[in-house]
Amino acid sequence: MSYLPLQALATGFNYDSMSVPVSPSIGQTWRERDSNNLVVEQWFWNGANWLSLNTIPRDTLLISGQSITLTNILVGLVTSTTDEIPFSINSTYGIYITKMYAALRIPSGNLSATNYWKLLLKNGSTTLQTIDVTAGDDGATTGDVRKSVSVGASYPKTGKYSLSLVQQGAPPGARSPSALIECRLVR
């Protein structure tokens, strides 16, 4: 569980230095500085890692080579597995995924426990996280369907991360599929 130290932020940082603090307590904060005394990043200790205070959203449209055209909006119907869409955070640190979101429009038909879309987060060919979009967070199985899951997992900076939407069973076609990965830097 990520513990965001709001009380500590209100009173200032526990550490303000170039070096990584030793033996921090959960919720303590650290303002990391470089050799010129400039702030590099602001961190909090979650009990296992230093996580950046700010979240970094990475969103993307998920598209397929089949019957899709981009003209400022996504037009067409996704009826098969989408292409793998790469994303990166351009950082020297790893990533700590806090939440994943999937959104799509089901114009006709209904999603079900056997016929649905699955959002995959991969590093190369290895699947790291998934969202089974059998229904939205509000129970919707048709129309605008939005699904989110809390993750709480760290991954190294190396590798090729990607997102894709994969058919499970025979789901109805989806319009305008998109995904959002909310993450923090980790060290």
Q: What is the DSSP letter of 78?
A: B
- For 7-21, 62-76, 161-175, which range has the lowest pLDDT when averaged over its residues? 62-76
Tokens 């989806």 correspond to 174
Asked if residue 134 has pLDDT above 90, the reply is yes
Q: Is 184 exposed, middle or buried (0-12, 13-18, 19+ CB in 10 A)?
A: buried
Whole-angstrom distance, CA of residue 31 vs CA of residue 133: 39
Q: Please, which residues have CB within 8 angstroms of residue 82's CB and are 6 or more apart in sequence?
A: 62, 63, 64, 164, 165, 166, 177
Q: What is the pTM of this model?
A: 0.74
Give 1's pLDDT tier (boundaries 50, 70, 90): very low
Q: Say what the pLDDT of residue 116 is.
A: 94
* Residue type at position 17: S
- Per residue in 53-100, pLDDT tens? 888 766 555 554 333 332 223 333 455 555 555 555 556 788 888 888
Q: Which of 42, 54, 82 is nearest to 177 (CA)?
A: 82
How far is Cα 3 from Cα 28, in angstroms, rounded to an integer?
10
pLDDT at 72: 28
* Percent of the chain predicted with pLDDT > 90: 39
Higher pLDDT, 1 or 160: 160
**Three-state secondary structure call for residue 34:** coil
What burial letters (b/e) apply to 19-47, b meaning 16+ CB within 10 Å?
A: eebeebeebbbbbbbeeeeeeebbbbbbe
> What is the mean predicted confidence (pLDDT) over 146-171?
86
